[in-house]
Amino acid sequence: MELILLPFIAAFITFMAKGKTAKLVAILSASFQLVLTAIMLFKFNAAGNTNFELNYPWIPQMGINFRIGFDGISMMLAILTNILSFLIIFSSNRDENDRAGLFYGLILLMQSALIGVFTSLNGFVFYLFWELALIPIYLICGIWGEGSNKIQITLKFFIYTFAGSLLMLASLIYLAAHANGSFDYEALFQAQLSDAESLLVALGFFIAFAIKMPVFPFHTWQPQTYTMAPAQGSMLLSGIMLKMGVYGVIRWMIPLVPKGVIQFQSTIIILAIIGIVYGAIIAIRQNDLKKIIAYSSFSHVGLIAAGAFVFSLQGIQGSMIQMFCHGINIVGLFFAIDIIEKRTGTRDIKELGGIVSSAPRFAILFMVVLLGSVAVPLTNGFIGEFLLLKAVFDYQAILALVAGLTVIFCAVYMLRIYQLAIFGEVKEKTTNFEDLNWMEFTTLGIIGILVLAIGVYPQWLLNLTEASVMNLIK
Protein backbone atom coordinates (compact mmCIF):
# COMPACT_ATOMS: atom_id res chain seq x y z
CA MET A 1 0.00 0.00 0.00
CA GLU A 2 2.75 2.39 0.93
CA LEU A 3 4.24 1.73 -2.46
CA ILE A 4 1.20 3.16 -4.17
CA LEU A 5 0.52 5.93 -1.75
CA LEU A 6 4.03 7.29 -1.45
CA PRO A 7 4.58 8.28 -5.06
CA PHE A 8 0.98 9.38 -5.28
CA ILE A 9 1.45 11.93 -2.50
CA ALA A 10 4.93 12.83 -3.62
CA ALA A 11 3.54 13.50 -7.07
CA PHE A 12 1.37 16.28 -5.79
CA ILE A 13 4.20 17.79 -3.78
CA THR A 14 6.29 17.68 -6.91
CA PHE A 15 3.62 19.35 -8.95
CA MET A 16 4.03 22.35 -6.76
CA ALA A 17 7.80 22.27 -6.55
CA LYS A 18 9.96 24.10 -9.02
CA GLY A 19 13.08 23.28 -11.01
CA LYS A 20 15.77 21.57 -9.03
CA THR A 21 13.57 21.10 -6.01
CA ALA A 22 11.15 19.10 -8.09
CA LYS A 23 13.80 16.66 -9.18
CA LEU A 24 15.09 16.44 -5.64
CA VAL A 25 11.67 15.62 -4.25
CA ALA A 26 11.10 13.10 -7.01
CA ILE A 27 14.44 11.40 -6.45
CA LEU A 28 13.90 11.32 -2.72
CA SER A 29 10.53 9.74 -3.21
CA ALA A 30 11.86 7.23 -5.71
CA SER A 31 14.80 6.23 -3.53
CA PHE A 32 12.59 5.92 -0.50
CA GLN A 33 10.40 3.76 -2.65
CA LEU A 34 13.38 1.59 -3.50
CA VAL A 35 14.22 1.20 0.17
CA LEU A 36 10.65 0.24 0.91
CA THR A 37 10.74 -2.31 -1.88
CA ALA A 38 13.94 -3.74 -0.50
CA ILE A 39 12.38 -4.06 2.96
CA MET A 40 9.33 -5.72 1.48
CA LEU A 41 11.47 -8.05 -0.54
CA PHE A 42 13.27 -8.98 2.64
CA LYS A 43 10.00 -9.82 4.37
CA PHE A 44 8.57 -11.40 1.28
CA ASN A 45 7.59 -15.00 1.37
CA ALA A 46 7.85 -16.54 -2.05
CA ALA A 47 5.72 -19.54 -1.28
CA GLY A 48 3.13 -18.47 -3.80
CA ASN A 49 0.49 -16.98 -1.56
CA THR A 50 -0.40 -13.32 -1.40
CA ASN A 51 1.73 -11.14 0.84
CA PHE A 52 0.92 -7.76 2.39
CA GLU A 53 -2.71 -8.02 1.47
CA LEU A 54 -4.99 -5.04 2.07
CA ASN A 55 -8.73 -5.17 1.74
CA TYR A 56 -10.99 -2.18 2.38
CA PRO A 57 -14.63 -2.17 1.41
CA TRP A 58 -15.13 0.63 -1.06
CA ILE A 59 -18.42 0.29 -2.90
CA PRO A 60 -19.59 -2.98 -1.38
CA GLN A 61 -23.00 -2.78 -3.06
CA MET A 62 -21.27 -3.37 -6.38
CA GLY A 63 -18.79 -5.87 -5.12
CA ILE A 64 -15.94 -3.41 -5.26
CA ASN A 65 -13.32 -3.67 -2.57
CA PHE A 66 -10.09 -1.78 -2.58
CA ARG A 67 -8.02 -4.91 -2.48
CA ILE A 68 -4.33 -5.17 -3.27
CA GLY A 69 -1.65 -7.69 -2.49
CA PHE A 70 1.71 -8.98 -3.64
CA ASP A 71 2.52 -12.41 -4.88
CA GLY A 72 5.77 -13.24 -6.64
CA ILE A 73 4.63 -11.95 -10.00
CA SER A 74 3.43 -8.65 -8.60
CA MET A 75 6.53 -8.34 -6.50
CA MET A 76 8.82 -8.77 -9.46
CA LEU A 77 7.01 -6.19 -11.51
CA ALA A 78 6.88 -3.80 -8.57
CA ILE A 79 10.63 -4.13 -8.24
CA LEU A 80 11.00 -3.47 -11.95
CA THR A 81 8.74 -0.44 -11.79
CA ASN A 82 10.58 1.04 -8.86
CA ILE A 83 14.05 0.47 -10.24
CA LEU A 84 13.13 1.87 -13.61
CA SER A 85 11.23 4.85 -12.25
CA PHE A 86 14.22 5.69 -10.15
CA LEU A 87 16.55 5.45 -13.12
CA ILE A 88 14.24 7.42 -15.35
CA ILE A 89 13.91 10.24 -12.85
CA PHE A 90 17.57 10.12 -12.01
CA SER A 91 18.69 10.25 -15.60
CA SER A 92 16.43 13.01 -16.79
CA ASN A 93 17.23 16.65 -16.67
CA ARG A 94 14.42 19.13 -16.89
CA ASP A 95 14.72 22.71 -15.73
CA GLU A 96 12.22 25.33 -14.74
CA ASN A 97 11.39 26.46 -18.27
CA ASP A 98 10.38 22.95 -18.95
CA ARG A 99 7.82 22.70 -16.20
CA ALA A 100 9.97 20.32 -14.22
CA GLY A 101 7.53 20.06 -11.37
CA LEU A 102 4.77 18.81 -13.60
CA PHE A 103 7.10 16.44 -15.41
CA TYR A 104 8.49 14.66 -12.37
CA GLY A 105 5.11 14.71 -10.70
CA LEU A 106 3.59 12.91 -13.65
CA ILE A 107 6.31 10.29 -13.60
CA LEU A 108 5.64 9.66 -9.93
CA LEU A 109 1.92 9.50 -10.56
CA MET A 110 2.59 7.00 -13.26
CA GLN A 111 4.72 4.94 -10.89
CA SER A 112 1.93 4.89 -8.37
CA ALA A 113 -0.63 3.83 -10.94
CA LEU A 114 1.61 1.12 -12.37
CA ILE A 115 2.18 -0.47 -9.00
CA GLY A 116 -1.54 -0.28 -8.51
CA VAL A 117 -2.07 -2.19 -11.73
CA PHE A 118 0.43 -4.85 -10.78
CA THR A 119 -0.95 -5.42 -7.30
CA SER A 120 -4.70 -4.95 -7.47
CA LEU A 121 -6.79 -7.99 -6.74
CA ASN A 122 -10.14 -6.57 -7.66
CA GLY A 123 -11.25 -6.22 -11.24
CA PHE A 124 -12.58 -2.74 -10.79
CA VAL A 125 -9.49 -1.47 -8.98
CA PHE A 126 -7.38 -3.03 -11.70
CA TYR A 127 -9.30 -1.16 -14.35
CA LEU A 128 -9.08 2.04 -12.37
CA PHE A 129 -5.31 1.93 -12.08
CA TRP A 130 -5.03 0.75 -15.65
CA GLU A 131 -6.66 3.94 -16.88
CA LEU A 132 -4.93 6.08 -14.30
CA ALA A 133 -1.61 4.99 -15.75
CA LEU A 134 -2.67 6.22 -19.14
CA ILE A 135 -3.21 9.82 -18.12
CA PRO A 136 0.31 10.82 -17.06
CA ILE A 137 1.92 9.23 -20.09
CA TYR A 138 -0.61 10.98 -22.31
CA LEU A 139 0.36 14.30 -20.81
CA ILE A 140 4.08 13.55 -20.91
CA CYS A 141 3.92 12.67 -24.59
CA GLY A 142 1.62 15.54 -25.43
CA ILE A 143 3.53 18.25 -23.60
CA TRP A 144 7.14 17.25 -24.00
CA GLY A 145 6.94 15.30 -27.21
CA GLU A 146 8.58 16.51 -30.35
CA GLY A 147 7.50 16.90 -33.92
CA SER A 148 4.72 18.84 -35.53
CA ASN A 149 2.10 16.14 -35.25
CA LYS A 150 2.77 15.16 -31.66
CA ILE A 151 -0.73 15.98 -30.51
CA GLN A 152 -2.20 13.90 -33.26
CA ILE A 153 0.01 10.92 -32.47
CA THR A 154 -0.56 11.20 -28.76
CA LEU A 155 -4.28 11.38 -29.29
CA LYS A 156 -4.18 8.35 -31.51
CA PHE A 157 -2.24 6.43 -28.91
CA PHE A 158 -4.64 7.54 -26.20
CA ILE A 159 -7.80 6.71 -28.08
CA TYR A 160 -6.43 3.44 -29.38
CA THR A 161 -5.43 2.11 -25.99
CA PHE A 162 -8.47 3.59 -24.35
CA ALA A 163 -10.80 1.90 -26.80
CA GLY A 164 -9.12 -1.37 -25.95
CA SER A 165 -9.48 -0.74 -22.24
CA LEU A 166 -13.19 -0.15 -22.59
CA LEU A 167 -13.57 -3.59 -24.11
CA MET A 168 -11.70 -4.94 -21.12
CA LEU A 169 -14.05 -3.10 -18.79
CA ALA A 170 -16.99 -4.62 -20.62
CA SER A 171 -15.47 -8.06 -20.17
CA LEU A 172 -14.84 -7.43 -16.50
CA ILE A 173 -18.38 -6.24 -15.90
CA TYR A 174 -19.78 -9.20 -17.76
CA LEU A 175 -17.69 -11.54 -15.68
CA ALA A 176 -18.65 -9.81 -12.47
CA ALA A 177 -22.31 -9.97 -13.37
CA HIS A 178 -21.97 -13.71 -13.67
CA ALA A 179 -20.00 -13.97 -10.46
CA ASN A 180 -22.67 -12.78 -8.01
CA GLY A 181 -21.84 -9.20 -8.81
CA SER A 182 -18.44 -9.25 -7.20
CA PHE A 183 -15.33 -7.87 -8.86
CA ASP A 184 -13.10 -9.71 -6.42
CA TYR A 185 -10.28 -11.66 -8.08
CA GLU A 186 -11.16 -15.01 -6.56
CA ALA A 187 -14.88 -14.41 -7.00
CA LEU A 188 -14.44 -13.83 -10.72
CA PHE A 189 -13.28 -17.42 -11.02
CA GLN A 190 -16.76 -18.52 -10.04
CA ALA A 191 -18.35 -17.11 -13.17
CA GLN A 192 -19.88 -19.90 -15.22
CA LEU A 193 -19.86 -19.02 -18.89
CA SER A 194 -20.74 -20.92 -22.01
CA ASP A 195 -18.07 -21.39 -24.66
CA ALA A 196 -19.37 -18.58 -26.82
CA GLU A 197 -19.61 -16.19 -23.91
CA SER A 198 -16.14 -16.90 -22.66
CA LEU A 199 -14.82 -16.43 -26.17
CA LEU A 200 -16.29 -12.94 -26.29
CA VAL A 201 -15.03 -12.08 -22.83
CA ALA A 202 -11.59 -13.37 -23.70
CA LEU A 203 -11.59 -11.36 -26.91
CA GLY A 204 -12.45 -8.23 -24.98
CA PHE A 205 -9.49 -8.81 -22.69
CA PHE A 206 -7.29 -9.76 -25.58
CA ILE A 207 -7.87 -6.61 -27.58
CA ALA A 208 -7.09 -4.42 -24.59
CA PHE A 209 -3.90 -6.30 -23.81
CA ALA A 210 -2.91 -6.79 -27.42
CA ILE A 211 -3.02 -3.08 -28.06
CA LYS A 212 -1.04 -2.35 -24.95
CA MET A 213 1.72 -4.88 -25.58
CA PRO A 214 1.39 -4.54 -28.66
CA VAL A 215 0.75 -7.69 -30.64
CA PHE A 216 0.71 -7.74 -34.42
CA PRO A 217 -1.38 -6.16 -36.03
CA PHE A 218 -2.32 -3.78 -33.21
CA HIS A 219 1.09 -2.19 -33.06
CA THR A 220 1.04 0.79 -35.36
CA TRP A 221 0.71 3.36 -32.60
CA GLN A 222 3.92 2.14 -31.08
CA PRO A 223 6.71 3.22 -33.45
CA GLN A 224 5.10 6.60 -33.94
CA THR A 225 4.60 7.20 -30.25
CA TYR A 226 8.07 6.00 -29.27
CA THR A 227 9.66 8.17 -31.90
CA MET A 228 7.73 11.24 -30.91
CA ALA A 229 7.74 10.86 -27.13
CA PRO A 230 10.47 12.40 -25.01
CA ALA A 231 13.16 9.91 -23.98
CA GLN A 232 11.67 9.41 -20.53
CA GLY A 233 8.27 8.90 -22.10
CA SER A 234 9.61 6.17 -24.38
CA MET A 235 11.30 4.57 -21.39
CA LEU A 236 8.12 4.56 -19.36
CA LEU A 237 6.08 3.27 -22.26
CA SER A 238 8.39 0.52 -23.37
CA GLY A 239 10.07 -0.27 -20.07
CA ILE A 240 7.04 -0.62 -17.85
CA MET A 241 3.81 0.22 -19.52
CA LEU A 242 3.80 -2.50 -22.11
CA LYS A 243 4.37 -4.99 -19.31
CA MET A 244 0.89 -4.12 -18.15
CA GLY A 245 -0.41 -5.90 -21.21
CA VAL A 246 1.56 -9.06 -20.60
CA TYR A 247 0.75 -8.94 -16.92
CA GLY A 248 -2.92 -8.64 -17.77
CA VAL A 249 -2.70 -11.73 -19.92
CA ILE A 250 -0.93 -13.74 -17.28
CA ARG A 251 -2.92 -12.61 -14.28
CA TRP A 252 -6.39 -11.89 -15.60
CA MET A 253 -7.12 -13.06 -19.08
CA ILE A 254 -5.94 -16.65 -19.19
CA PRO A 255 -6.78 -17.72 -15.61
CA LEU A 256 -10.24 -16.15 -15.71
CA VAL A 257 -11.48 -17.34 -19.08
CA PRO A 258 -9.33 -20.30 -20.05
CA LYS A 259 -12.19 -21.76 -22.02
CA GLY A 260 -12.33 -18.71 -24.23
CA VAL A 261 -8.59 -18.37 -24.64
CA ILE A 262 -8.11 -21.94 -25.67
CA GLN A 263 -10.33 -21.36 -28.68
CA PHE A 264 -7.97 -18.90 -30.26
CA GLN A 265 -4.73 -19.66 -28.48
CA SER A 266 -2.96 -20.93 -31.58
CA THR A 267 -4.06 -17.90 -33.57
CA ILE A 268 -2.63 -15.55 -30.99
CA ILE A 269 0.63 -17.41 -30.81
CA ILE A 270 0.96 -17.33 -34.56
CA LEU A 271 0.14 -13.62 -34.61
CA ALA A 272 2.75 -12.99 -31.95
CA ILE A 273 5.32 -14.92 -33.92
CA ILE A 274 4.46 -13.08 -37.11
CA GLY A 275 5.08 -9.96 -35.08
CA ILE A 276 8.52 -11.18 -34.05
CA VAL A 277 9.73 -11.72 -37.58
CA TYR A 278 7.84 -8.80 -39.02
CA GLY A 279 9.16 -6.28 -36.49
CA ALA A 280 12.68 -7.59 -36.80
CA ILE A 281 12.68 -7.39 -40.57
CA ILE A 282 11.40 -3.85 -40.51
CA ALA A 283 14.01 -2.85 -37.96
CA ILE A 284 16.77 -3.98 -40.29
CA ARG A 285 16.28 -1.14 -42.72
CA GLN A 286 15.28 1.78 -40.53
CA ASN A 287 17.63 4.67 -40.02
CA ASP A 288 16.04 6.41 -37.09
CA LEU A 289 17.56 4.96 -33.91
CA LYS A 290 14.36 5.26 -31.95
CA LYS A 291 12.39 3.58 -34.68
CA ILE A 292 14.79 0.67 -34.76
CA ILE A 293 14.45 0.24 -31.03
CA ALA A 294 10.69 0.60 -31.27
CA TYR A 295 10.43 -2.18 -33.82
CA SER A 296 12.92 -4.31 -31.94
CA SER A 297 10.85 -3.88 -28.83
CA PHE A 298 7.79 -4.90 -30.77
CA SER A 299 9.64 -7.95 -31.99
CA HIS A 300 10.83 -8.90 -28.50
CA VAL A 301 7.41 -8.44 -26.99
CA GLY A 302 6.05 -10.75 -29.63
CA LEU A 303 8.19 -13.49 -28.16
CA ILE A 304 7.11 -12.60 -24.62
CA ALA A 305 3.49 -12.74 -25.69
CA ALA A 306 3.95 -16.05 -27.45
CA GLY A 307 5.51 -17.51 -24.30
CA ALA A 308 2.74 -16.15 -22.12
CA PHE A 309 0.04 -17.59 -24.33
CA VAL A 310 1.64 -21.00 -24.37
CA PHE A 311 0.92 -20.83 -20.66
CA SER A 312 3.30 -23.50 -19.55
CA LEU A 313 5.48 -23.08 -16.50
CA GLN A 314 8.51 -22.33 -18.63
CA GLY A 315 6.58 -20.04 -20.90
CA ILE A 316 5.26 -17.90 -18.07
CA GLN A 317 8.52 -17.94 -16.19
CA GLY A 318 10.28 -17.02 -19.38
CA SER A 319 7.96 -14.15 -20.09
CA MET A 320 8.21 -12.96 -16.49
CA ILE A 321 11.98 -12.82 -16.53
CA GLN A 322 12.03 -11.47 -20.04
CA MET A 323 9.66 -8.68 -19.05
CA PHE A 324 12.04 -7.75 -16.29
CA CYS A 325 15.08 -7.90 -18.50
CA HIS A 326 13.48 -6.30 -21.51
CA GLY A 327 12.44 -3.42 -19.27
CA ILE A 328 15.99 -2.90 -18.12
CA ASN A 329 17.52 -3.27 -21.56
CA ILE A 330 15.11 -1.05 -23.37
CA VAL A 331 15.45 1.71 -20.83
CA GLY A 332 19.20 1.43 -21.26
CA LEU A 333 18.89 1.61 -25.02
CA PHE A 334 16.57 4.58 -24.98
CA PHE A 335 18.82 6.29 -22.52
CA ALA A 336 21.84 5.71 -24.73
CA ILE A 337 19.94 7.05 -27.72
CA ASP A 338 18.92 10.06 -25.71
CA ILE A 339 22.57 10.70 -24.91
CA ILE A 340 23.49 10.44 -28.57
CA GLU A 341 20.67 12.72 -29.58
CA LYS A 342 21.51 15.33 -26.98
CA ARG A 343 25.14 15.40 -28.02
CA THR A 344 24.72 15.33 -31.77
CA GLY A 345 21.21 16.57 -32.38
CA THR A 346 20.36 13.67 -34.64
CA ARG A 347 19.07 10.15 -34.42
CA ASP A 348 19.84 9.22 -37.99
CA ILE A 349 22.47 6.49 -37.90
CA LYS A 350 23.75 7.52 -41.29
CA GLU A 351 24.95 10.78 -39.80
CA LEU A 352 26.64 9.13 -36.85
CA GLY A 353 29.88 7.24 -36.57
CA GLY A 354 33.14 6.85 -34.73
CA ILE A 355 31.72 7.62 -31.31
CA VAL A 356 33.97 5.02 -29.72
CA SER A 357 37.07 7.11 -30.38
CA SER A 358 35.92 10.00 -28.25
CA ALA A 359 33.62 8.23 -25.81
CA PRO A 360 34.99 4.78 -24.98
CA ARG A 361 33.11 4.44 -21.71
CA PHE A 362 29.84 5.13 -23.43
CA ALA A 363 30.72 2.67 -26.16
CA ILE A 364 31.42 -0.12 -23.70
CA LEU A 365 28.27 0.35 -21.67
CA PHE A 366 26.19 0.72 -24.79
CA MET A 367 27.71 -2.53 -26.01
CA VAL A 368 26.75 -4.33 -22.81
CA VAL A 369 23.14 -3.20 -23.03
CA LEU A 370 23.04 -4.01 -26.72
CA LEU A 371 24.36 -7.49 -26.09
CA GLY A 372 21.68 -7.93 -23.48
CA SER A 373 19.16 -7.16 -26.18
CA VAL A 374 20.80 -9.48 -28.67
CA ALA A 375 20.53 -12.14 -25.95
CA VAL A 376 24.12 -13.23 -25.83
CA PRO A 377 24.53 -15.83 -23.09
CA LEU A 378 25.53 -14.50 -19.67
CA THR A 379 23.56 -11.35 -20.31
CA ASN A 380 20.03 -11.09 -19.01
CA GLY A 381 18.33 -11.27 -22.39
CA PHE A 382 19.49 -14.81 -22.98
CA ILE A 383 17.71 -16.42 -20.05
CA GLY A 384 14.33 -15.16 -21.08
CA GLU A 385 14.85 -15.82 -24.74
CA PHE A 386 16.02 -19.34 -24.05
CA LEU A 387 13.03 -20.15 -21.85
CA LEU A 388 10.55 -18.53 -24.20
CA LEU A 389 11.89 -20.24 -27.29
CA LYS A 390 11.89 -23.50 -25.41
CA ALA A 391 8.28 -22.98 -24.36
CA VAL A 392 7.29 -22.24 -27.94
CA PHE A 393 9.31 -25.23 -29.07
CA ASP A 394 7.45 -27.49 -26.69
CA TYR A 395 4.19 -26.08 -27.98
CA GLN A 396 5.01 -26.47 -31.66
CA ALA A 397 8.54 -27.09 -32.84
CA ILE A 398 8.20 -25.44 -36.22
CA LEU A 399 6.97 -22.22 -34.65
CA ALA A 400 10.13 -22.11 -32.55
CA LEU A 401 12.14 -22.24 -35.73
CA VAL A 402 10.35 -19.18 -37.05
CA ALA A 403 10.46 -17.38 -33.73
CA GLY A 404 14.13 -18.30 -33.48
CA LEU A 405 14.84 -16.18 -36.51
CA THR A 406 14.83 -13.35 -34.01
CA VAL A 407 18.17 -14.70 -32.85
CA ILE A 408 19.58 -13.89 -36.26
CA PHE A 409 17.67 -10.75 -37.14
CA CYS A 410 18.20 -9.15 -33.78
CA ALA A 411 21.93 -9.54 -34.24
CA VAL A 412 21.61 -8.02 -37.70
CA TYR A 413 19.92 -4.80 -36.74
CA MET A 414 21.53 -4.30 -33.37
CA LEU A 415 25.01 -4.76 -34.75
CA ARG A 416 24.08 -2.47 -37.60
CA ILE A 417 23.32 0.25 -35.07
CA TYR A 418 26.57 -0.35 -33.32
CA GLN A 419 28.51 -0.52 -36.53
CA LEU A 420 27.18 2.66 -38.00
CA ALA A 421 26.83 4.75 -34.88
CA ILE A 422 29.69 3.70 -32.65
CA PHE A 423 32.28 2.27 -35.02
CA GLY A 424 33.29 3.62 -38.39
CA GLU A 425 34.80 6.94 -39.30
CA VAL A 426 34.12 9.98 -37.18
CA LYS A 427 31.57 12.16 -38.88
CA GLU A 428 30.93 15.86 -38.66
CA LYS A 429 28.28 15.61 -35.96
CA THR A 430 30.22 13.22 -33.78
CA THR A 431 33.56 15.00 -33.70
CA ASN A 432 33.07 16.55 -30.29
CA PHE A 433 31.20 13.72 -28.69
CA GLU A 434 31.81 14.03 -24.96
CA ASP A 435 32.07 10.93 -22.87
CA LEU A 436 29.54 10.25 -20.13
CA ASN A 437 29.23 12.55 -17.17
CA TRP A 438 28.90 10.98 -13.75
CA MET A 439 25.14 10.93 -13.76
CA GLU A 440 24.89 9.22 -17.11
CA PHE A 441 27.70 6.90 -16.16
CA THR A 442 25.94 5.87 -12.97
CA THR A 443 22.68 5.25 -14.75
CA LEU A 444 24.10 3.22 -17.60
CA GLY A 445 26.47 1.54 -15.15
CA ILE A 446 23.60 0.33 -12.97
CA ILE A 447 21.81 -0.94 -16.03
CA GLY A 448 24.95 -2.66 -17.28
CA ILE A 449 25.52 -4.35 -13.95
CA LEU A 450 21.93 -5.55 -13.87
CA VAL A 451 22.30 -6.89 -17.40
CA LEU A 452 25.29 -8.99 -16.44
CA ALA A 453 24.20 -9.92 -12.91
CA ILE A 454 20.86 -11.33 -14.00
CA GLY A 455 22.52 -13.07 -16.91
CA VAL A 456 24.98 -14.88 -14.70
CA TYR A 457 22.66 -15.66 -11.82
CA PRO A 458 19.00 -15.51 -12.87
CA GLN A 459 17.82 -17.97 -10.30
CA TRP A 460 16.83 -15.47 -7.62
CA LEU A 461 14.36 -13.86 -9.98
CA LEU A 462 13.07 -17.20 -11.11
CA ASN A 463 12.61 -18.31 -7.52
CA LEU A 464 10.70 -15.16 -6.74
CA THR A 465 7.94 -15.97 -9.17
CA GLU A 466 8.04 -19.72 -9.50
CA ALA A 467 5.55 -20.60 -6.77
CA SER A 468 3.11 -17.92 -7.84
CA VAL A 469 3.26 -19.01 -11.44
CA MET A 470 2.64 -22.59 -10.35
CA ASN A 471 -0.47 -21.35 -8.55
CA LEU A 472 -1.69 -19.65 -11.66
CA ILE A 473 -1.31 -22.48 -14.10
CA LYS A 474 -2.60 -25.32 -11.99
**What x-and-dash track marks residues 435-464 binding other proteins by CB under 8 A?**
----------------------xxx--x--
Return the number of the residue (58 or 423) whose C-beta is nearest other proteins: 423
Q: How many residues bind other proteins (CB under 8 A)?
A: 56
Query: Residue 376 Cβ, how far from other proteins at the closest point, in Å?
Result: 5
**What x-and-dash track marks residues 78-97 binding other proteins by CB under 8 A?**
--------------------
**What x-and-dash track marks residues 156-185 binding other proteins by CB under 8 A?**
x--xx-------------------------
Per CB under 8 A, the segment of 20-28, 239-247, 330-338, 423-431 that binds other proteins is 423-431
Query: Residue 348 Cβ, how far from other proteins at the closest point, in Å?
Result: 16
Query: Residue 438 Cβ, how far from other proteins at the closest point, in Å?
Result: 17
Residue 220 as a binder of other proteins (CB under 8 A): the answer is yes
Q: Which of 221, 226, 324, 395 is close enough to bind other proteins by CB under 8 A? A: 221
Please state the three-class secondary structure of the chain as a single string. CHHHHHHHHHHHHHHHCCHHHHHHHHHHHHHHHHHHHHHHHHHCCCCCCCEEEEEEEEEHHHCEEEEEEECHHHHHHHHHHHHHHHHHHHHCCCCHHHCHHHHHHHHHHHHHHHHHHHHECEHHHHHHHHHHHHHHHHHHHHHHCCCCCHHHHHHHHHHHHHHHHHHHHHHHHHHHHCCCCCCEHHHHCCCCCCHHHHHHHHHHHHHHHHHHCCCCCCCCHHHHHHHHCCHHHHHHHHHHHHHHHHHHHHHHHHHHCHHHHHHHHHHHHHHHHHHHHHHHHHHHHCCEHHHHHHHHHHHHHHHHHHHHHHCCHHHHHHHHHHHHHHHHHHHHHHHHHHHHHHHHCCCEHHHCCCHHHHCHHHHHHHHHHHHHHHCCCCCHHHHHHHHHHHHHHHHCHHHHHHHHHHHHHHHHHHHHHHHHHHCCCCCHHHCCCCCCCHHHHHHHHHHHHHHHHHHHCCHHHHHHHHHHHHHHHC
Return the number of the residue (23 or 347) whose C-beta is nearest other proteins: 347
**What x-and-dash track marks residues 308-347 binding other proteins by CB under 8 A?**
-----xx--x------------------------------
**What x-and-dash track marks residues 14-53 binding other proteins by CB under 8 A?**
----------------------------------------
Residue 364 as a binder of other proteins (CB under 8 A): the answer is yes
Return the number of the residue (160 or 334) whose C-beta is nearest other proteins: 160
Residue 411 as a binder of other proteins (CB under 8 A): the answer is yes
Per CB under 8 A, the segment of 41-49, 152-160, 196-204, 242-250 that binds other proteins is 152-160
Residue 360 as a binder of other proteins (CB under 8 A): the answer is yes
Q: Which of 386, 396, 452, 471 is close enough to bind other proteins by CB under 8 A? A: 386
Nearby residues of 50 by Cβ (< 8 Å), 6 or more positions away: 69, 70, 71, 121
Residue 425 as a binder of other proteins (CB under 8 A): the answer is yes
Neighbours of 95 (CB within 10 A): 12
- Positions in the binding site for other proteins (CB under 8 A): 156, 159-160, 217, 219-221, 223, 278, 281-286, 313-314, 317, 354, 356-357, 360, 364, 371, 376-378, 382-383, 386-387, 389-390, 393-394, 397, 400-401, 404-405, 407-408, 411-412, 415-416, 419, 422-425, 457-459, 462, 466
